[in-house]
Each structure stands twice: as structure tokens, then as C-alpha cells.
Structure 1
Amino acid sequence: MLPVQEYIQHFKEIWESSPDHFPHFRKEYSTVEKQAREQNYEHFQVKIKSLQNRSKIQQLKNDPGSSFFPMFKAFLETVFDFEKDHLKLILSDEFKNVSKDFFYKARAFGPELKPDNIYQGMRNVWIMNGIQLMLNVPVSITPSVFAYSMIYPYSDNFLDDPDITGGEKEIFSRRFNRRLHGEEVSPASFTEAQLFKLVGMFEDEFPRISFPKVYESLYAIQKGQTESLEMHADNGLSDDSILRICFEKGGASVLADGYLVTGKLTREQEQALFGYGVYLQLLDDIQDVKEDSLAFTKTMFSCLPEDNLGSFVNRTINFGRVALEEMRCFEGARNDEFIDLMNRSIETMIIESVGLNRTWYTPAYLKELEKYSPLHFEFVRQKRAQSKSQRFAMFQKYFDTAQPVNV
């Protein structure tokens, strides 16, 4: 069996030894620099809006390299300050077709899904594509990459639905767990039918007898998901229990990503991916603090008093910098550019999340952290709802023009 508890303990020790003082960032942005980047952001939005008609989207589909990718490259460079070496990785030829391929396959498999559901799965595709790069295997939408990424829109949305009772969720989790273990289970709903088809894609690519750890990793993420259902504000869980559930859920998720990319991993690679997953889970908890609080869901973050939230963010960043160093065990991640890109991307999202949830932090902390944001926090807040709606509007048009393909 996978030594999940050992990995939890390993990263728990790193967490406990991570300082909560304000981290050092590579660059501070002046007011003038922020204003210039905000103008570039506005220009990008205008260009995106110009693409929001069917003929333009069809043109974008046919030749994304001639229009969208150069524009997106300029956006990342002139707004979020990504360096040229970072952009070579983000916009490498390997990545240019996988998103479109996933859109097509997702529409064919789940025409009932909304664009934001598909986008939710796309986030996991990008993580798995990054693991493919680290393992020096072709970046593509394999059956298991597709299936695992599509599990999120179906299972997470069910488990996160406040209108579904805890008892119903427990029954669902038990049935899904039986199917993951290879049992023949007749689906009791459309959601279960879709999920069971996705498990079948794993089995076709990675036969259970030949790749037992693939399924052990899936059992681990299912266990973590099930235990996370216990994280309610009135359940009396200790801080240590909450930490372990958080670490297990996040770590096991990315560990499964790795196994579904390659089928086999070394123990060193297992541990590194587990730590990467823990870091991403902590990021999720920071991003979702408002939603978790309103849903009375306890996380390591949502149950802290306001004056401790900044210290938690600091510790998360310091923890992540140590945890991601373990990714150097992958041949494709040994160069400084790859690790730096991973750090920059996550830290950019953390800083933005703090700015978007300003009521959860002290004014002093917001003022200090905003120095290292390429955009003013007020600008980020003003643009978030608008940019999100524009992104999904464009995504919807792109999605609607896609032709079904065989999955």
C-alpha cells in the first residue's frame, strides 16, 4: 500500500518548521508600474471582447497560434510579469493543442455540463500536463488524463452541493468507492453512470493487475474526499485532525495525477507529488475561505481568527517553497526555470486571493502584501467579476462551435 501516512507526517513536519514571518519576494511594484500593467490588462480585455463573435471564434479554433497565443503571451508578460523562460514553458508547442482537445472530448462526453464545469476539469488537465513534462512523456489528453479531470466536475459538484444531505453524500461515496475497487455496481443516477464510465477508462489504459498502485492512489483520494465530509464547524475535530485531512485530500489528489499519467512512480516521486498536492490544497483553502466559512466547513484556514490569517498565508508560501524543491527528483523539473515557474504561478494566485478577500485580513497585512502584486488590489476586485464573465462567455462560444469527437 502507498505510505500516505508517512507522507502526511513528512510534510506536517515541514509545515510546523516553516516560519510565519513575511516572505521575501523578488520584486516590489511601484504605483506607476501597477498603473501601466493595469492599462495593459484593459487592452487585453478589449482584444478578448473583439473575439467574442462566432466568426472570430471559428478563426481562433482553426489557427490559435496566429491570434490568441501571441496575445496571451503578451498578457502574461506585460501584466503579470512572467519571464521569457517561464513563457517558453507555459506556451510551449506541447500545450497549444491540449486545451482544445479536452474541450472537444468534454463536450462529447458530457454535453449537459456548463462551460465553468469544463473549465474546472481543465485546471486538473494543466496539472497533469505539467507532470507529463516533468516525466518527459508526451503532453497529451490520454484516456486517463481526460477521465480523472472529468471526475472533478461530477464528483466535486455533487459533494459540494449544500442541498444534498450528508447521508446522501456518504451513500454516494461508498458506492463510488466500491466501483473504484473494481466491483460491478449499477449506477443509481446519471452522475454515477458518468463517473463509472470514467473509471472504465482508467481500467482500459491501466489494467488493475499490471498497475496496482494506480488504483491505490485512487483509493487514497477517495478516502481523503470521504474524510473531508467530516469537516463541519460543529464536529469537534482537533487542529491536528483537520491538518491531516487537508494534507491527505490534497496530497493524494496530485499523487493520483502522477499515477494516471505514467502508471508507475518511484517513492521519491510519490512523496514530491504528494507535497505539491498539499501546497495546492492550502492554496484552495486560501482562495475559498469565504465559501468555506459560509458553508460552516472547517479547514486549516477558515477557522483561524482574522489576525492570524496573514501569518497562515506567510507560512503557506514558505512551506511551498520548501515542498516544491522536492520536485527536482523529476528529470524534467531539475532546471531552475521550472521550479521558479511553479512557485511564481502559485504565489501569484495566493497574492491575488488575499486581495480579493480583503475583509479577512488586517489593513497592515494587505498594505504590505499589495506591494508585491503587479496590480492594485482594488483593480483586481473591480475586474474579477467582469473578467470571469468574459472568460466564460468566450469559452461558451468556443465550446458551442466545437464538433463532437470520439472519447
Structure 2
Amino acid sequence: MLPVQEYIKHFKQIWESSPNHFPEFSKLYTEEEKRERETNYEHFQAKIKSLQNHSKVQKLKNDPGGSFFPMFKAFLETVFDFEKDHLKVILSEEFKDVSKDFFYKARAFGPELKPENIYQGMRNVWIMNGIQLMLNVPVRITPSVFAYSMIYPYSDNFLDDPEILAGEKEIFSRRFNRRLHGEEVNPASFTEEQLFKLVRMFEDEFPRKNFTEVYESLYAIQKGQTDSLKMAADNGLSDDRIVEICFEKGGASVLADGYLVAGKLTREQEQALFGYGVYLQLLDDIQDVKEDSLAFTKTIFSCLPEEDLGSFVNRTIHFGRVALEEMRCFEGAGNRDFIDLMNRSIETMVIESVGMNKKWYTADYLNKIEQYSPLHFEFVRQKRAQSKSQRFSMFQKYFNSARPENVPISF
């Protein structure tokens, strides 16, 4: 069995030893610099809006390298200050076609899914593509990359739905767990039918008798998901147990990403990926603090008093910097640029998430961390509110009519 408890213990020790003082960041932004970047943001947004008609979207699809990618590159450089070496990774030829390929396959597999559901799965594709890059294997949509990323729109949305009773979720989890263990289970719903098809894709690419660790990693994430159902506000769990469950869920998820990319991993690689997953889970908890609180779901952050949230964000950043250093065990992650890119991206999202949830932080903390945001928090909140109803409109239009409906899935 995979030593998941050992990894939880290891990263709990790092978490507990991480300081909670305000971290140092590489760049502080003046008022003038923020206004300049906000102007650049407005220009990019105007260009995107000008593309939102069928003929221009078609042109964009036909020549993304000549139109969209240079524009997007300029946006990342002039708004978020990504360095050229970072952008070589983000906008490499290897990555350019992967998102489109996933969308086509997802639409063919689940035509009932909304674009935002597919985008949800695409976020996991990007993580798995990053692992492919670190392992120096081709960056592409394999059957298992597709299947594992599609589990999120089906399984997570069911388990996270507050309208579904806890008992129903437990029955669903038990049945899905049986199928993951190789049992032939007759699907009891359309969701189960789709999920069981995805499991079959794992089995076809990684036969159970030859890749036992692949399935152990899937059992680990399923256990993490099931344990997370216990995190209701009135469950009596200790803070220490909440930390363990959060670490188990996040760490096991990215560990499964790694096994479904590689089939085999070293213990050092397992541990590094587990830590990366813990860091991403902490980011999710910071981003979702409002939703988790309203749903009476306990996380490390949602059950803390306001004056403590800033110190926990600080600790998360310190923790993440240590955890990501362990990623150096991957040959492709040996150069500093790739690790810097991951950490820079996550820290940018952490800072933005603080600004988006201002009621959960003290005024002093908000003022201090806003200095390291390239955009004013009020500007970020306004843009997020304006785009919320149409956040996926460009995403949808970019892919619509690109291929005929009912395109067969082929890998």
C-alpha cells in the first residue's frame, strides 16, 4: 500500500514548523504601477470582447498562434509580470493544443456538460500536463489524463452538492469505491454510468495486475473524498483531524495525477507530488472560505476567527515554498524557472483570493498584502463581478462549431 499516512505526517510537520509571520515577496507595486496594469487589463478585455462574434472567433481558432497567443502573452507580461522564461512554459507549443483537444473529447463524452463543468476538468488537465513536463514525457491527453480529469465534473459536483443528503453521498461513495477496486457494479444512475466508463479507461491503459500502485492511488483519493464528507460543522472533529483530512484529500488527488501520468513513481516522487497536492488544497480552502462557511463545511480556514486568517495565509505561503522545493526530484523540474512558475502562479492566486474575501481579514492585513498585488483589490472585485455571468463565454465561443457534434473519442 502507498504510505499515505507517512506523507501526511511529513507535511504536517512542515506545516506546524512553518512560520506565520508575513512572507517576503519579490515585488511591491506602487499606485502608479497598479493603475498602469489596470489600464493594460482593460485593453486586453476590450480586445477579447471585440472577438466575440462568430467570424472573428472562427479566425481566432484557425490561427491562434497569430492572434490570440501573442495577445495573451502580452497580457501576462504587462498585467501580471510573468517573466519570459515562465511564459516559454505556459505558451509552449506542447501546451497550446492540449486544452482544445480535451474540450473536444469532453464534449463528445458528456454533451450534457456545461462549459464551466468542462473547464473544471481542464484545470486538472493542466496539473497533469505539468507533471508530464516534469517527467519529460509528451504533453498530451492520454486516456487516463482524460478520464481522471472528467471524474471531477461528475464525482466532485455530486459530493459537493448541498442539496443531496449525506446518506445518498455515502451510498454513492461506497458504490464508486467498489468499482474502483475492480468489481463489476451495475450503474444506478447516469452519473455512475459515466464514472464507470471513465474507470474502464484507466483499466485499459494501466492493467490492474501490472500497475497496482495506480489503483492504490485511486483508492487513496477516494478515501480522502469519503473522509472529507465528515467535515460538517457539527461533527466534533478536532482541528488536528481537520488538518489531516485536508492534507489527505489534496495530497492523494495529485498523487493520483502522477500515477495516471507515469504508471510508476519513486517514493521521492510520490512524496513530492503529495506535498504539491496539499499546497493546492490549501489554496482551494483559501479561495472557498466564504462558500465553505455558508455550507457549514469545516476546513483549516473556514472555522477560524477573522484575526487568525491572515496568519494562516502567511503560513500557507511559507509551507508551499518548502513543499515545492521537493519537486526538484523530477528531472524536468530541475531548473529553477519551472518551480518559480508554479509558486509564482499559486501565490498570485492566494493574494487575489484574500482580496476577493475581504470580510475575512483585518484591514491591516488587507492593506499590507495588497501592496504585492499588481491590481487594486477593488479593481479585481469589480472585474470578477462583471465577468461572473459570462466568465466562460469566450471559452465556449472559442470551441463552439470547431468540430461537428458527436465527434468520436480517440486517443
Q: Which interval holds the TM-score relative to the shorter structure?
A: over 0.9
Partner of 1:274: 274
Residue aligned with 1:316, SS: helix
| Residue 283 in structure 1 maps to residue 287 in structure 2 | no
Q: Distance in 2 between matches of 1:388 and 1:304?
A: 27
Residue equivalent to 2:253: 253
Give the letter aligned to residue 284 of structure 1.
D
**Which residue identity does 2:254 align to in structure 1?**
V
Alignment match, 2:408: 406
**Partner of 2:343 in structure 1?**
343
Written as runs of structure 1 = structure 2, the 5 A alignment for 1:57-206 is 57-206=57-206
Partner of 1:324: 324
Deviations 1:32-81 (A, max 9, x none): 00000000000010011011111122222222111111111011110011
One-letter amino acid matched to 2:210: S
Kindly provide the CA deviation profile for residues 319-354 of structure 1, in whole angstroms up to 9, marking residues without a partner as x.
Answer: 000000000000000101011101100000000000
Contact preservation (8 Å) 1:128, 1:261: yes
- Within 1, Cα distance between the matches of 2:330 and 2:387? 35
Preserved contact between residue 115 and residue 399 of structure 1 (Cα < 8 Å): no
Determine helix, strand or coil for the equivalent of 1:65: coil
| Structure 2 residue ranges without an equivalent (≥5) | none
Cα distance in 2 between the residues matched to 1:245 and 1:294: 20
- Map of 1:233 onto structure 2: 233
SS of the equivalent of 1:64 reads coil
Task: Report if the CA contact (8 A) 1:233-1:297 is conserved.
Answer: yes
Rounded to whole Å, the distance in 2 between the matches of 1:334 and 1:388 is 38
What's 1:370 paired with?
A: 370
Identity %: 85
- Give the SS at the match of 1:307: helix
Give distance in 2, aligned partners of 1:391 and 1:121.
16
Question: Secondary structure in 2 aligned to 1:55?
Answer: helix
Secondary structure of 2:392's aligned partner: helix
Q: Distance in 2 between matches of 1:312 and 1:48?
A: 36
Structure-2 separation of matches of 1:275 and 1:227: 19
Which letter does structure 1 place at the counterpart of 2:391?
A: R
Structure-1 separation of matches of 2:208 and 2:50: 49
Letter of the aligned partner of 1:293 in structure 2?
A: S
Counterpart of 2:302 in structure 1 is 302
How far, CA to CA, are the matches of 1:307 and 1:186 in structure 2?
A: 50
Between stretches 34-43 and 380-389, larger displacement belongs to 380-389
Query: 1:402: how far off?
Result: 3.1
State the distance in 2 between where 1:334 and 1:273 align: 15
Shift of 1:396: 1.9
Question: Does 2:182 correspond to 1:207?
Answer: no
Alignment correspondent of 1:14: 14
Residues 107 and 399, structure 1, Cα contact 8 Å, conserved in 2: no
Structure 1: distance between partners of 2:81 and 2:248:
33
1:37 is matched with which residue?
A: 37
Contact 1:214/1:259 (8 A) holds in 2: yes
Aligned-partner Cα distance in 2 for 1:19–1:118: 38
Match for 1:382: what amino acid? Answer: Q
Cα distance between partner residues in 2 of 1:395 and 1:88:
22
Q: Quote the RMSD (CA, aligned, Å).
A: 0.8
* Runs of 4+ that moved beyond 4 A: none
Alignment match, 1:387? 387
**Separation in structure 2 between the aligned mates of residue 383 and residue 255 of structure 1, nearest angstrom:** 34
Distance in 1 of aligned mates of 2:62 and 2:98 = 14
Instruction: Find the aligned partners of 2:110 and 2:398 in 1 and give their Cα distance.
Output: 16
Deviations 1:213-245 (A, max 9, x none): 000000000000000000000000001110100
- The answer to whether the 8 Å contact 2:100/2:399 transfers is no
Give the deviation of 1:405 after TM superposition. Answer: 2.9
Partners of 1:259 and 1:387 in 2: how far apart?
Answer: 36
Cα drift, residue 195 of structure 1 = 0.4
Provide the aligned length of Structure 1 versus Structure 2: 407
Deviation at 1:148, TM superposition (A): 0.4
Letter paired with 1:370:
E
Residue type of the partner of 2:84? K
Give the structure-1-normalised TM-score.
Answer: 0.99
